[in-house]
Amino acid sequence: MLDIKFIKENVELVRAGALKKHITFDLDALLKTDEERIKILGEVEALRKRQNDANALMIKETGGARENLLNEMKEVKAQLQKSEEKLADIMKRWQTLMLTVPNIPDMSVPEGKDDGDNQEVRVWGEKTKFDFTPKSHIELMLAHDMLDLERGTKVSGFRGYFLKNDAVFLSLAIWNYALRFFASKGLAPMIVPSLVLRHNLVGTGYLPQGEDDMYKTQGGEFMAGTGEVATMGYYAGEVLDKSQLPIKTLSFSPCFRREAGAHGKDVKGLIRVHEFYKWEQVVLCEANHEESVKMHEWINANTEEFIQTLKIPYHTVANCGGDLGLGQVKKYDIELWVPAEGKYREISSASYFHDFQTRRLNIRYKDNKNKMRYAHSLNSTAIPTPRILVSIIENYQNSDGSIKIPDVLVPYMGKNVIL
């Protein structure tokens, strides 16, 4: 959420930011509603002052003067009640409109309307080449009894899956290696809830616009699509000690996404599933643009280095304006090489938000001048499963159908090849 004062002082910048993100919202309606809000708020405050002044006089007045004052107070009370009801209605409309205002993208964000316009900024490793026709992860995993998609669909429906045997050991090896790797970077590990209350999703910017992509319980709770939501909610409403910053967290959780609107896209295999697991980097830092940029580069570099230790070819892209979410100032995607498809596939996203999320969640700290400030927030995928299995299995396949285990995972896997 942007500060209304900033919005009013930078109307054209806010319009330009929304245009660059290809997000439509009614800024004029917000500005008009804000004028109404300020006007009625002034009326309410004036009536409350009259009421307080009258209460003070009541102690001194007697007889007819007291009776007149009582009648005046009744009128003021009735007017105040109407004005407060009007203010409550305006505030509801104002808050709804405020939640639709997109954050301003950084100047370095490329122009474009969708992921096809993202710009490559780094390439690592040579695309894997074989002297045989490579098989897909589905073929390989079925051959080794590592995957059951038919029973997955029978049990969970569309995009359901079972991981079996060596796929389980490989997943656990990745989780354990990722835990050690990212913790060594100074990120504090935490297992966080997937079941979250609505205000946590509003606070992180996933609601109200993204509700179609979420699973919801009969009690009104939601199943989050990332550990970022619960991790940010952990600090909601708190005033942090500046000496704690930056707070660097490595959060693990099951994740759930309905993938609404993705029917017919990536239907087969483990690229796009409804239920998965993820290690997530989440950072809270001082309210400073340079610090946010530095931390953004750092969290993305952590994941790049992790992928490099697995020796999987990848490239990193800077997301264009149209491929940014409501709250993101800038985002990188890391995409891994998938041999069977002959293309790169996203494995990680790293974003920074300035105070967009922390203003919604009321996460603050006192700066060196004892002034209350909203912290800045960032997040990045450390690694997700089962999606990472796709690139590991396809890039490490042999001509006889066996699958080599990346060297760094062997100590966690207990063997160096799946036969």
Q: What is the CATH number of the domain that holds 189?
A: 3.30.930.10
In a domain, 10, yes or no: no
**Whether residue 72 is found in the same domain as residue 124:** no
- Cβ distance 105 to 298 under 8 Å? no
Q: Which of 199, 257, 202 is nearest to 226 (CA)?
A: 257
- Cβ distance 314 to 304 under 8 Å? yes
Per the structure, the count of domains in the chain is 2
Which residue, of 71, 98, 125, is where some domain finishes? Answer: 98
In a domain, 310, yes or no: yes
* pLDDT given at position 263: 53
Q: What is the DSSP letter of 397?
A: B
**Whether residue 340 is found in the same domain as residue 391:** yes
In a domain, 104, yes or no: no
**Whether residue 36 is found in the same domain as residue 169:** no
3-state helix, strand, coil in the chain (%, to 5): 45, 20, 35
* pLDDT given at position 71: 76
In a domain, 12, yes or no: no
In a domain, 18, yes or no: no
* pLDDT given at position 61: 59
**Whether residue 216 is found in the same domain as residue 163:** yes
* pLDDT given at position 340: 94
In a domain, 227, yes or no: yes
* pLDDT given at position 268: 81
Q: What is the DSSP letter of 31?
A: H
**Whether residue 407 is found in the same domain as residue 322:** yes
Per-residue buried b or exposed e for 327-361, using 16+ beta carbons within 10 Å of the residue's own CB: bbbbbbbbbbbbbbbeebbbbbbbbbbbbbbbbbb
For residue 151, give its domain range: 115-418
**Whether residue 219 is found in the same domain as residue 328:** yes
Element (H, E) at 336: strand 330-338
- Could you give the CA distance from residue 68 to residue 76 in angstroms, rounded to a whole number? 12
In a domain, 205, yes or no: yes
* pLDDT given at position 49: 83
- Cβ distance 398 to 128 under 8 Å? no
Task: Give the C-alpha distances (Å, rounded to integers) separating 11 from 28, 154, 329.
Answer: 10, 52, 17
**Whether residue 309 is found in the same domain as residue 181:** yes
Which residue, of 66, 98, 130, is where some domain finishes? Answer: 98
Q: Which of 323, 334, 327 is nearest to 228 (CA)?
A: 327
In a domain, 19, yes or no: no
**Whether residue 77 is found in the same domain as residue 149:** no
**Whether residue 382 is found in the same domain as residue 285:** yes
* pLDDT given at position 406: 98
**Whether residue 272 is found in the same domain as residue 370:** yes
**Whether residue 267 is found in the same domain as residue 375:** yes
Which residue, of 98, 125, 143, is where some domain finishes? Answer: 98
Digit-by-digit pLDDT tens for the chain (419 residues) are 899 999 999 999 999 999 999 999 999 999 999 999 999 999 999 888 887 776 666 666 566 666 777 777 788 888 888 999 999 999 999 999 999 999 999 999 999 999 999 999 999 999 999 999 999 999 999 999 999 999 999 999 989 999 999 999 999 999 999 999 999 999 999 999 999 999 999 999 999 888 888 999 999 999 999 999 999 999 999 999 999 999 999 999 999 998 765 555 666 899 999 999 999 999 999 999 999 999 999 999 999 999 999 999 999 999 999 999 999 999 999 999 999 999 999 999 999 999 999 999 999 999 999 999 999 999 999 999 999 999 999 999 999 999 999 999 999 999 999 99
- Cβ distance 356 to 103 under 8 Å? yes
**Whether residue 92 is found in the same domain as residue 178:** no
Tell me which residues are annotated as active site: 257, 272, 346, 349, 387
